[in-house]
Amino acid sequence: MLNTLWGAGAALLIAAAAGQALATESELKPAKDRQELRQQLEKALAEDHMPGASLVVFDKNGVVFSEQFGLADKAAKRPVTENTLFRIGSVSKTPTGIAILQLVEQGKLSLDAPVKALLPELKLDNPWEASHPVRLIHLLEHTAGLDDMHLRDTYKLEPGSFSHLDTANRGAGSLRVRWQPGTMMSYSNPGYGVLGAILERHYGQPWEQIIDERVLKPLGMGDGTADLAEAQRRALAQGYSGDDERPTGHPAIWLRAAGQVSASARDLAQLGRFMLSGGQSMPGVLKPETVAEMHVVHTPDTARAGLKLGYGLAQYSKVRNGVMWHGHNGGIEGFASSFAYAPSLGYGYVLLANTDRAGRSIHEPVWRYLVALAGAKPVPAATAPAPFAIDAWFRFANPRNELMRGQTTLLSVAKIRTEGDRLIFQALLEEPEVYHILPGGLLAEAKEPSLPVGVMTRDDQGRITVTLDGMVSREVSAPAALGPAALFILALAALVSAPFGRRKVLVNPWLRLWPSLALLALAATIFCVSQMTMMESGVMNWKTLGIAAGTWAFALAGAMGLWMNARQWTGEVALLAKSRCLLASLAVVGLSLWFWQAQWLGLALWLY
């Protein structure tokens, strides 16, 4: 989870975020030995202000080696050990998925079962229910079309205990299906909350008890627990956030089945070993054929087009350094986690940190070291001419959260074209990315050409879709792609210029004052967003109130500015000055309409 909303919120309100192009690989050389790997990780920890971390490398036989860094609790000067408990966030989805698959193996659930049949009381809003219901497998693979959790449904600040069904229905705003189920993947924590409700309905027990007794203990994860209070009694590491390494505590979350498990690095190595061995390390937890199916992506359109990459049954697959990795990562206030394994290498790793800042800088040295340790050499796949030509604009079609839809309209566009056996993806405001075209329209990164990461398709109506690393882009016209951003820039320019000009040239100063007040309201709104942490975003406070009031004040100032212009137009003789004020007020009204369309006008985050 994000520590602050600045990265998302500022983009929402001023649309200044970067485009959707994939990150460029660094030129970090793989460590030649374990000592050099430790040095690389220590450097990353220091640079990114990470207090502590635990690394365990494993193969199908067990732990190969482990390294621990820093402090689990700075105040107590408690060092990190390989048995230190960390909150693992979304890695919890894999144990939840295993518990569901156990019931599937026993014939008590079916992957094709409609969710509404399993939970009739669930407030699921699916416009396609009659022909395309949301099925159990869609929840496991994030292809139900659900929105991600809304901000009020993230951290649980209310006292008392709630079932997963109560929690899901409390956040029913996230349970509206946005496109036909089983077509596109979009990561959704509420979907796993619903899986938690299905488990609780079947067993008649809390999700925590189900996971501890039926998944963690049978896997040999003796340190771990799904119960947060129990984890705290077992000396759970302290979480930290920001450059100043601010303690975060251990806030409870609503969607427990999506992210509440705590575990040690050695625990998660047991889970990774189980997956890497095809279930042989802990017989009886799942059948080998079920473990094999967890690696398969079944439901989205990309799978039907031949792409094996994506989110399977409760875990990811990703291409890194020319190797297919499986596993999951997670982030929650004060913690970041990852477990990943590569069957082609025979190795996997677990990396846990007690900060929510841990990112690529700490993982990439491990990827590269394990690839070099296994002696793997990427083998370029044979390229092929494009199955059809592309030279058009595209827009991102499967945003994770509808709250970001306004940003998607403005910035998430790209010019895509084909040249022989290459596809060039030019995201707005980004450097172009080059992909090799493989047989069947599959796409591989130019720097990692051995495995496909995307696919280009065309349907019976000739509509083109390009999917890259889960990001689905659909063709739009050039005006539709560039028009919103161009209009936004023009509107912002008109608004920002409104306060400037000779003071006495206008008879009525309110012509200029209303747009100036609108600009002030917008600046105040952006300030509130910049100061708000994730923990504060879902409750009523001066920052969330400021966002709601600021956006309404912005729209009101625009309407008043238009009204004043209509009333005073004939009485003002300074044509240029009054025209500038009119354009500024029109800009505010236009931006307010955009806010309304994006659900940002009067946005009450404590109710969203």
Per residue in 219-234, pLDDT tens? 999 999 999 999 999 9
Instruction: Tell whether 492 and 472 lie within a shared domain.
Output: no
Tokens at 150, concatenated: 């809304």
Computed over its alpha carbons, how large is the radius of gyration of the chain?
26
Instruction: Tell whether 515 and 430 lie within a shared domain.
Output: no
Is pLDDT at 479 greater than 70 in this prediction? yes
Name which residue leads in pLDDT, 58 or 402.
58
Handedness of CA 457, 460, 464, 465 (dihedral sign): negative
Name which residue leads in pLDDT, 555 or 568.
555
Q: What is the pLDDT of residue 48?
A: 86
In a domain, 7, yes or no: no
Query: Of the candidates 427, 458, 476, which is a domain's last residue?
Result: 476
Q: Tell me the per-residue pLDDT of 344-364, one tens digit each, with 9 for 90 and over.
A: 999 999 999 999 877 778 889
What gap in Å lies between CA 202 and CA 207, rounded to an integer?
11
Instruction: Tell whether 298 and 322 lie within a shared domain.
Output: yes
What gap in Å lies between CA 145 and CA 169, rounded to an integer?
17
β-strands 347-353, 454-458: how paired?
unpaired
DSSP secondary structure string for all residues of 208-238: HHHHIIIIITTTT--S-BS-HHHHHHTTPPP
Instruction: Tell whether 177 and 149 lie within a shared domain.
Output: yes
In a domain, 382, yes or no: no
Residue with tokens 């190795």: 347
Instruction: Tell whether 362 and 458 lie within a shared domain.
Output: no
Instruction: Tell whether 460 and 527 lie within a shared domain.
Output: no
In a domain, 331, yes or no: yes
Name which residue leads in pLDDT, 28 or 245.
245
Instruction: Tell whether 310 and 459 lie within a shared domain.
Output: no
Q: What is the pLDDT of residue 115?
A: 98
Is pLDDT at 3 greater than 60 in this prediction? no
Is pLDDT at 526 greater than 60 in this prediction? yes
Is pLDDT at 167 greater than 60 in this prediction? yes
Q: Which phi and psi (to 5°) does residue 428 adopt?
A: -60, 130
CA 349-85-72 angle, to 5 degrees, is 100
Contact 297, 303 (CB under 8 A): yes
Name which residue leads in pLDDT, 434 or 28.
434
Q: What is the pLDDT of residue 377?
A: 80
Q: What is the pLDDT of residue 209?
A: 98
Is pLDDT at 6 greater than 80 in this prediction? no
In a domain, 15, yes or no: no
Q: Tell me the per-residue pLDDT of 450-477, one tens digit each, with 9 for 90 and over.
A: 799 999 999 999 999 999 999 999 999 9
Q: Which residues contact 335 (CB under 8 A, 6 or more apart)?
A: 86, 87, 88, 89, 237, 239, 352, 353, 354, 355, 356
The percent of residues in the chain predicted with pLDDT above 70, rounded, is 95
Coil/strand/helix, residue 535: helix
Residue with tokens 């161009």: 486
Report residue 27's pLDDT band, with 50, 70 and 90 as the boundaries: low
What gap in Å lies between CA 197 and CA 181, rounded to an integer?
20
Q: Torsion angle of alpha carbons 502, 504, 505, 507, nearest 10°?
A: 140
Tokens at 52, concatenated: 């502590």
What gap in Å lies between CA 138 and CA 182, rounded to an integer?
6
Average pLDDT for 411-418: 95
Instruction: Tell whether 467 and 493 lie within a shared domain.
Output: no
Average pLDDT for 372-389: 88
Domain count within the chain: 3
Q: The domain containing residue 448 runs over which residues?
A: 391-476
Largest CA distance in the chain: 87
β-strands 62-73, 78-79: how paired?
antiparallel
Instruction: Tell whether 449 and 534 lie within a shared domain.
Output: no
Average pLDDT of every residue of the chain: 91
Which DSSP letter does residue 375 get?
Answer: T
pTM: 0.91
Report residue 306's pLDDT band, with 50, 70 and 90 as the boundaries: very high
Is pLDDT at 264 greater than 70 in this prediction? yes
CATH of the domain at 318: 3.40.710.10
Q: What is the pLDDT of residue 160?
A: 84
